[in-house]
Amino acid sequence: MEKIISFGRTDLEIVPIIFGGNVFGWTLDEKCSFEILDEFIDLGFNAVDTANNYSHWVEGNQGGESETIIGKWVKEKRNRDKLVLMTKVGGRFGADSKTNIKASYIKEQIEHSLNRLQTDYIDLYQTHYDDETTAIEETLRAYEDLIKEGKVRYIGASNITESRLIESLETSSKLGLPRYISLQPEYNLYDREKFEKEYEATVKEYGLAVIPYYSLASGFLSGKYLTDEDFSKSTRGVGIQKRYWNERGQRIIKTLNEVASAYNTSASSVALAWLLAHPSITAPIASATKKNHLDSFVSAIQLRLGEEAIEKLNNASKY
Provide the pLDDT confidence category of residue 96 given band limits of 50, 70 and 90: confident
Determine contact, residues 295/265, Cβ cutoff 8 Å: no
Which of 32-46, 66-80, 224-238 is the least confident region?
224-238
Question: Does 10 have pLDDT greater than 90?
Answer: no
Among candidate residues 54, 129, 143, 180, the one labeled active-site is: 54
How do residues 270-311 score in pLDDT, each as one tens digit?
Answer: 999 999 999 999 999 999 999 999 999 999 999 999 999 999
> Is this model's pTM higher than 0.75 or not?
yes
Query: What pLDDT sits at residue 234?
Result: 82
The residue type at 162? E
How do residues 99-128 score in pLDDT, each as one tens digit?
Answer: 999 999 999 999 999 999 999 999 999 999
Please state, as a whole number, how many other Cβ atoms lie within 10 Å of the Cβ of residue 29.
Answer: 12
Report the pLDDT averaged over residues 17-42. Answer: 97
How do residues 250-263 score in pLDDT, each as one tens digit?
Answer: 999 999 999 999 99
User: Does 199 participate in catalysis according to the annotation?
Assistant: no
Domains in the chain (CATH in brackets) are 18-184 (3.20.20.100)
Buried/exposed code over 70-96 (b: 16+ C-beta within 10 A; e: otherwise): bbbbbeeeeeeeebbbbbbbbbbbeee
Distance CA 190, CA 243 (A): 10
Distance CA 24, CA 65 (A): 7
Query: What pLDDT sits at residue 143?
Result: 98
How do residues 139-164 score in pLDDT, each as one tens digit?
Answer: 999 999 999 999 999 999 999 999 99
- Is the bond preceding 55 in cis, omega lying within 30 degrees of 0? yes
How do residues 162-180 score in pLDDT, each as one tens digit?
Answer: 999 999 999 999 999 999 9
Between helix 267-277 and helix 247-262 the angle, nearest 10°, is: 90
Query: What pLDDT sits at residue 14?
Result: 74
Report the pLDDT averaged over residues 221-233. Answer: 91
Query: What pLDDT sits at residue 210?
Result: 96
How do residues 190-218 score in pLDDT, each as one tens digit?
Answer: 999 999 999 999 999 999 999 999 999 99
Query: What pLDDT sits at residue 233?
Result: 86
